[in-house]
Structure 1
Amino acid sequence: MKGKLGEADEILDTEALQFDLGSIRTATNNFSEANKLGRGGFGAVYRGRFLNQEDIAVKRLSKDSAQGDIEFKNEVTLVAKFQHRNLVRLLGFCLEGNERLLIYEFVPNASLDHFIFDPTRRTHLDWDSRYKIIFGIGRGLLYLHEDSHLKIIHRDLNASNILLDVEMQPKIADFGMARLFDLDQTR
């Protein structure tokens, strides 16, 4: 690995998912403001495109956040281990110098809160699409809690952490606060 992160050994088994900083800088046009999708407590998210035309979303964690190290490690070690159509897919990460980047599939319709709180976009949420979104979130949570080989509790599920793909299928995102539980643990 090119960078260090406290307990980086736990990330070693996911090293195949590691991207180099240069390719991420190229994909995001050096993290240009024009490519910024949003900002949260963790840092900023940028849209990017690899040379193979694959669209990506890059979460750039704040360099001065100690909590960011924990969230970064959580997302890499937990999200890389599961796949479900209602969970955002982690493509990889970059840990180079003081940069901590998470590379995800790009989900074009932004988050559910953009639809709920925007009077124009809200009109796209007829009862059929609302049902499909609710059902998809439930399927994603069922997978995390029961059907996955790991038992994961999200702990930060809200409308801004539900992304909507081009077909308005929901994808649960942002696993920085998630916790792994033993299969027989009930609390």
Structure 2
Amino acid sequence: MQSSNKLKYRRFSIGEIKLATNGFSDQYFLGEDELGKIYRGNIRENDHDYVVIVKRVDNEYKIMLQNEIDSLSSFHHSNIIYLLGYCEVDEKILLYDFMPNGSLYYYLFNNKNQRCNLTVEQRLEICIGTANGLNHLHFGTKSSIIVHGDVNSSNIFLDGNFAAKLLAPQFECCLQYYITTIKGLIDD
């Protein structure tokens, strides 16, 4: 399997998404968050197989999707989860790079009666990576600034090398829950 960050950002068809998730089968279902259902998917492109995260966005958030797609697709940084593409024909769907080691939350709080098995060096690298990702969101581009508003171990993911990848805030409405005066995206 190739790293999915080598996929070119684009619009995906609903057929490609259904093929990638085997028709959104329970076998590919990973869970839900406040925005919708999350699946693991397999995309075949240019003779390579890529593992991706497929997020089906609930109806109440669909109206805001295009603005968020435009803003998130412009944030490319080694410590931010890459938005690979979207689909908005019959449904609103976002595709993200897959993080094989899951969220930091698992390693800190969900390790079933075991102490966290991350070394001190790994923990420090995760902290530095997270800070670098936040710095990029806050100050990384001249066109816009994103205030995250929800940094926690559930939004910090670990790639195959345990490098921290911050899940950028996805929808302005979700940030309002955390910060009522700042709505996520500040344009100059």
Distance in 1 of aligned mates of 2:115 and 2:168: 23
Q: 1:180 aligns with which of 173, 181, 185?
A: 185
Q: 1:104 aligned to 2:96?
A: yes
In the TM superposition, residue 38 of structure 1 has moved relative to its aligned partner by 1.6
The equivalent of 2:57 in structure 1 is 61
Q: Secondary structure of 1:53's match?
A: strand
Contact map agreement 1:75 1:175 (CA 8 A) in 2: no
For residues 62-89 of structure 1, the C-alpha deviation after alignment (integer angstroms, 9 at most, x for no partner) is: 23xx24533x335312110110000000
Q: CA RMSD, aligned part only?
A: 1.8
Cross-structure match for 1:130 = 123
Aligned twin of 1:39: 32
Gaps of 5+ in 2: 1-8, 173-183
The residue aligned with 1:171 is: 165
Three-state SS of the structure 1 residue aligned to 2:88 is: strand
Q: Is the 8 A contact 1:35 1:46 kept in 2?
A: yes
TM-score of the two chains, using structure 1 as the length reference: 0.80
Distance 1:45 1:74 in 2: 21
Which consecutive segments of 4 or more residues in structure 1 shift more than 6 A?
Answer: none
What is the CA deviation profile of residues 101-127 of structure 1, one whole-angstrom value per residue up to 9, with x for unaligned ones? 001111111111111112357532221
User: For this pair of structures, how many residues does the alignment match?
Assistant: 164
Question: Where does structure 1 lack aligned partners over 5 or more consecutive residues?
Answer: 1-15
Aligned with residue 145 of structure 2, among 142, 148, 151: 151
Q: Which moved more, 1:166-175 or 1:99-108?
A: 166-175
TM-aligned CA deviation for residue 35 of structure 1: 0.8
Distance 2:115 2:141 in 1: 33
| Cα distance in 1, alignment partners of residues 88 and 77 from structure 2 | 25
Q: Which residue of 1 aligns with 2:77?
A: 84
- The CA distance in 2 between the partners of 1:122 and 1:84, in whole Å, is 31
Q: TM-score, normalised by structure 2?
A: 0.80
Q: Secondary structure at the match of 2:81?
A: coil
Letter in 2 for 1:164: L
State percent identity of aligned pairs: 34
Determine helix, strand or coil for the equivalent of 1:110: coil
Distance 1:45 1:83 in 2: 22
Shift of 1:154: 1.4
Alpha-carbon shift at residue 161 of structure 1 (Å): 1.1
